Structure 1
Amino acid sequence: MPNAIVIGAGIGGIATALRLKKIGYEVTVLEANSYPGGKLHTKDVNGYRFDLGPSLFTMPHLVDELFQLFEVEPQSFFQYSKKNVICNYFWEDGTTFSANGNSDVFIKEAAKTFGESETHLKDYITGNAKKYDLTAALFLEKSLHKVNTYLSSDTVKAILQIGKLDVDTTLNTINEKTFQSRKLVQLFNRFATYNGSSPYQTPGIMSMIPHLEMHYGTFFPKGGMVQISKSLYELAVRQGVIFKFNERVQHIKVEDKKAVGAVSDKRDYMADITVSNMDIFPTYKNLLQDQPHPTKVLEQERSSSALIFYWGISREFPELDLHNILFSENYKEEFSAIFNDRTIYNDPTIYINITSKEEHGDAPAGHENWFVMINVPGNYGQDWEQLKTAAREWIISKINSVLGVDLEGLITTEHILDPIGIERDTSSYRGALYGAASNSKFAAFLRHPNFSNSIKNLYFCGGSVHPGGGIPLCLLSAKIVGDLVPKF
């Protein structure tokens, strides 16, 4: 039986291991950390449980599909519930908006709150769905680097309607042309952050992203986001996938332009195929030092990173839900600070995730566990201690202003994660959350493919390669690898 090595037990690595196991490989996953899941990890602090990484769960069918491959009922491992409210939005002038998961309800309530035409909103949302339907099979479900992808009817259909995809303009331009309300423009601009980009640079085709929330919905996994990776790990173990934790890969073995395995800090492994779930930059710089590097790909602009404060809060806030956004007063300046000045804006947009709203055991009774995040640049050598101190003051001041509270006195415990920590814990170059940014219309084509053009039997999965970052795209990258590798 052929064997495979997967480097990294992130969500993409676990999903790839499962797909390789299904098609006949014996699979060993090598992981430097002591736990599976990569960014999908958890931390307990003084009676509060926090999901450390991704906090938004969409397209759960991509997780269910992995269980169904092995004719296992997903619910026996993994349960989740659909949210009626996608997100609560707050502005400093007192405006609030609760985004309903039903698109018809969303349209009516958004039109009323922001003084917009229901027709414009419906046309916008319908147009987003069409963009997704035209491009999903090309950009998300197949390799962009294989000729046969471009010979399909789906590709021809997308090319013939390329004028409707808004690739030659920015997301912000599309939103400003569509809506008169600055707040509604800002609400839809924020979806650029789902791939770590700026709405003032990323192409208008990215307006398809809200369609994923409205069409598929948003969900909460029982036990928190970490249950996604935990359940898939348990499934993989039951199917015979071998995991080696606390084992750091030193380099990928290449002989005669063919990957033949990997060398860890404990032993050598031979393999018929090798898959890296590690960020593409350290994969080349650390594991393939003696091989030619794809310079243009590795020099691409990195996505934004995050500064996250994990706070135990000693009271409950009924006006907040699982997902909450407190918007900056000047969104354009905020993104300019992140991508042009590589610093933190003094009025950052704040995201607050509170899993104790759904999983009451995540915080003591009468308390809440706050995951408080702002978008920040990657690590380029900034003084992060100074930036963290300043950002903490700005965040607390804004929360106090918007919610009318004295937050400092309510914080019972604190843990902080910055770009340096993200890079250290997950090997994500510069702490970027999504690999390369999507700040150009060519970004999708510039992402590294899911296979090597110069080294046979070497493949890549995860958020730093095609089709991109985030849980759904990482799972799709695993599916693409499964379609590319030799079958037995």
Structure 2
Amino acid sequence: MTRKSAIVIGSGIGGISCAMRLQSLGFDTQIVEKLDAPGGRAYVRRVDGFTFDMGPTVLTVPHFIEELFSLERDHAMLGEPDFPAHVLDENSRIREGNSGGPNTSKYLDVMPILPFYRIYFDDGTFFDYDGDPVSTREQIKRLAPEDLEGYEAFHEQARAIFKRGFLELGYTYFGSLGSMLGVVPDLLKLGAVQPLFSLISKYFKSDKMRQVFSFEPLLVGGNPLKVPAIYAMIHFVEKTWGIHYAKGGTGALVAAMVKKYEEMGGKLHLNAEVGQIDVEKRAGKRVATGVTLRDGRTMTADIVVSNADYATTYLKMVDKKYRTINRDALVKFRKQSMSLMVIYFGYEKRDNDPELRHHNIILGPRYEALLTEIFDTKVMSKDFSQYLHIPTLTDPSMAPDGHHAAYTLIPVPNNQSDIDWSVEGDRLCDRVMTFLEERNYIPDLKARLKHKSFVTPDYFEQVLGSHVGNGFGVEPVLTQTAFFRPHNKSEDISNLYLVGQGTQPGGGTPSVMMSAKMTVREIARDLAIDASIVNGVPQAA
């Protein structure tokens, strides 16, 4: 039987995950990547002896990673349980040592991080969130004892949402309106469609606790004031499986995935930017036949999968004459997530430095008003919140001896704002670094700096190809969730599929790995491939 071929556009974590699964399904797969190294948003910057992950740094659900490293060429695993019994055991979370599974550990070291986050409030107090029930309740008692009873009620509702929304429906592909309508009654009963912040506010009286238990959607591009309450499941995802770190950074995970993919026979082409997705009309259908690169080269394949930004895929890679559903008006109408300014810096260690953590959330003096300015009015705010990441507290190899490598991420409006980042980038960078120094998070920081650089929404738009410089694809509001989110299977063109944060189920490292499995399952169904086989090249049904 002639092997089928596939082209995957983009080598982000979702794209590589999809390519690995296509290899396991019996395809000859090629990834085309516009940058000079793989990773997409998970690109790595190495400068002055420092290693900086430029994008995602929070790893959850390690069994998703283990499943990828357990793949073998032509040995499809799409029929395996999405959540095997052993990962659902309440004692399955690994709290110390190596948290990578046996196959993952052949390629890289993964370790748990505790606490998950240290969350600083503007008054200098903090909450160490580690998912431990005793510790969590002790800290609530210390900071907001009036919310202990509310936490118990929230905990039970979040558990129910997690069970239904993640464990039972997480891998459901909502390709039709009917598929979604069938689950709406359950979600309504669970209270999972109301805004998350509204749900949180019912249970917590303290502003601090409302922030602690609602900030997490920001890590996937969601506004806590507007994302549906189904995102309360993030609390249980983290609590169930923990937060993890790949030694060498997320870039080490990307490199390991590429190595595994190439061992399976897949090919990766760097500096290979796609100019267009090629489409032909066959028997009255529009069919994707391959891609044409910017340098004029053409590549043909039986299927094409885009891990590029959803809007960029349709607006810039597919001729509008082939788009009946995903027309310019619809694509541009979809609300895009906020963007980011990320400052990368290396600095000298001091023995008497304040005790920061691997992951630090530093909240500003305003919460709801700041979120409204970032997501809705899209203005440069007078204050900011930030996520400060210091991996060298766990992994000194990321910096020269005696130094820390760090980045701090500040949510900002996307490029639908009127902000001139060529001017405001330097200003905001200076404000943030001054804040870290003067508020004593990193004393004398400017004098200790050995490297400083930053990216703004312009980087996301111009380098990563994100429409209007979005940081996380389509914003996860209720009207852009499940069936209403861009589909993993193109409605316009046969044999064209999408994968990654802009598609179902959404943004974040575990979700893009899930999207890869969902997309490949749709490919297997469309091509009548029996994905339940264990040995040999999958055969047509």
TM range (shorter): over 0.9
Corresponding position: 1:312 with 2:350: no
Q: CA deviation at 1:297?
A: 4.1
Alpha-carbon separation, structure 1, partners of 2:406 and 2:152? 34
Q: Confirm or deny: 8 A CA contact 1:450 1:461 kept in the other structure.
A: yes
Deviation per CA, 1:280-339: give whole Å up to 9, x if none. 111111110232134324421110111011111222435101100111111112112112
Corresponding position: 1:239 with 2:264: yes
Aligned to 1:477: 515
Helix, strand or coil: the match of 2:278?
strand
Equivalence map 1:49-128=2 (5 Å)? 49-70=51-72, 73-128=103-158
Alpha carbons of structure 1 residues 407 and 273: separation in structure 2 relative to 1, 3 Å? same
Q: Confirm or deny: 8 A CA contact 1:277 1:460 kept in the other structure.
A: yes
Which is worse superposed, 187-196 or 57-66? 187-196
Number of corresponding residues: 483
Alpha-carbon separation, structure 2, partners of 1:307 and 1:150? 35
Letter of the 2:360 counterpart: N
Q: CA deviation at 1:65?
A: 0.3
Alpha carbons of structure 1 residues 202 and 435: separation in structure 2 relative to 1, 3 Å? same
Counterpart among 165, 174, 183 of residue 144 in structure 1: 174
Alpha carbons of structure 1 residues 161 and 447: separation in structure 2 relative to 1, 3 Å? closer
Which is worse superposed, 191-200 or 397-406? 397-406
Which is worse superposed, 394-403 or 16-25? 394-403
Alpha-carbon separation, structure 2, partners of 1:242 and 1:359? 31
Q: CA deviation at 1:150?
A: 5.6
Alpha-carbon separation, structure 1, partners of 2:162 and 2:148? 21
Q: Confirm or deny: 8 A CA contact 1:279 1:464 kept in the other structure.
A: yes
Alpha-carbon separation, structure 1, partners of 2:440 and 2:146? 26
Alpha carbons of structure 1 residues 469 and 150: separation in structure 2 relative to 1, 3 Å? closer
Q: CA deviation at 1:424?
A: 2.3
Deviation per CA, 1:127-170: give whole Å up to 9, x if none. 2121021122565312111478569xxx55x6345221331x32
Q: CA deviation at 1:442?
A: 4.7
Aligned to 1:216: 241
Counterpart among 374, 378, 384 of residue 410 in structure 2: 374
Counterpart among 27, 30, 50 of residue 29 in structure 2: 27
Q: CA deviation at 1:388?
A: 1.7
Normalised by the size of structure 2, how large is the TM-score?
0.85
Deviation per CA, 1:439-472: give whole Å up to 9, x if none. 3355343211000122111111011111111111
Equivalence map 1:411-426=2 (5 Å)? 411-426=449-464
Alpha-carbon separation, structure 1, partners of 2:245 and 2:146? 31
Helix, strand or coil: the match of 1:340?
helix
Aligned to 2:99: none
Q: CA deviation at 1:49?
A: 1.4
Letter of the 2:322 counterpart: Q
Letter of the 2:340 counterpart: A
Helix, strand or coil: the match of 2:426?
helix
Corresponding position: 1:357 with 2:357: no
Superposition RMSD on alpha carbons, in Å? Answer: 2.1
Helix, strand or coil: the match of 1:254?
strand
Q: Confirm or deny: 8 A CA contact 1:48 1:312 kept in the other structure.
A: yes
Corresponding position: 1:452 with 2:490: yes
Q: Identity, % of aligned pairs? A: 27
Alpha-carbon separation, structure 2, partners of 1:269 and 1:243? 13
Q: Confirm or deny: 8 A CA contact 2:474 2:480 kept in the other structure.
A: no
Helix, strand or coil: the match of 2:409?
strand
Alpha-carbon separation, structure 1, partners of 2:386 and 2:438? 13
Helix, strand or coil: the match of 2:45?
strand
Letter of the 2:290 counterpart: G
Aligned to 1:300: 334
Alpha carbons of structure 1 residues 109 and 137: separation in structure 2 relative to 1, 3 Å? closer
Normalised by the size of structure 1, how large is the TM-score?
0.93
Alpha carbons of structure 1 residues 161 and 395: separation in structure 2 relative to 1, 3 Å? closer
Structure 1 unaligned regions, length at least 5: none
Helix, strand or coil: the match of 1:478?
helix
Counterpart among 207, 211, 229 of residue 204 in structure 1: 229
Corresponding position: 1:261 with 2:287: no
Helix, strand or coil: the match of 1:370?
strand
Q: CA deviation at 1:235?
A: 0.3
Corresponding position: 1:387 with 2:387: no
Q: Confirm or deny: 8 A CA contact 1:6 1:30 kept in the other structure.
A: yes
Corresponding position: 1:163 with 2:189: yes
Q: Confirm or deny: 8 A CA contact 2:35 2:271 kept in the other structure.
A: yes
Letter of the 2:388 counterpart: I
Q: Confirm or deny: 8 A CA contact 2:309 2:502 kept in the other structure.
A: yes
Helix, strand or coil: the match of 2:118?
strand
Alpha carbons of structure 1 residues 249 and 472: separation in structure 2 relative to 1, 3 Å? same
Helix, strand or coil: the match of 1:140?
coil
Q: Confirm or deny: 8 A CA contact 1:274 1:459 kept in the other structure.
A: yes
Q: Confirm or deny: 8 A CA contact 1:107 1:122 kept in the other structure.
A: no
Letter of the 1:144 counterpart: F
Alpha-carbon separation, structure 2, partners of 1:11 and 1:352? 22
Equivalence map 1:337-348=2 (5 Å)? 337-348=373-384
Q: Confirm or deny: 8 A CA contact 1:5 1:273 kept in the other structure.
A: yes
Q: Confirm or deny: 8 A CA contact 1:438 1:444 kept in the other structure.
A: no
Alpha carbons of structure 1 residues 388 and 161: separation in structure 2 relative to 1, 3 Å? closer
Alpha carbons of structure 1 residues 100 and 116: separation in structure 2 relative to 1, 3 Å? farther
Q: Confirm or deny: 8 A CA contact 1:34 1:246 kept in the other structure.
A: yes
Letter of the 2:508 counterpart: G
Letter of the 1:402 counterpart: R
Helix, strand or coil: the match of 2:134?
helix
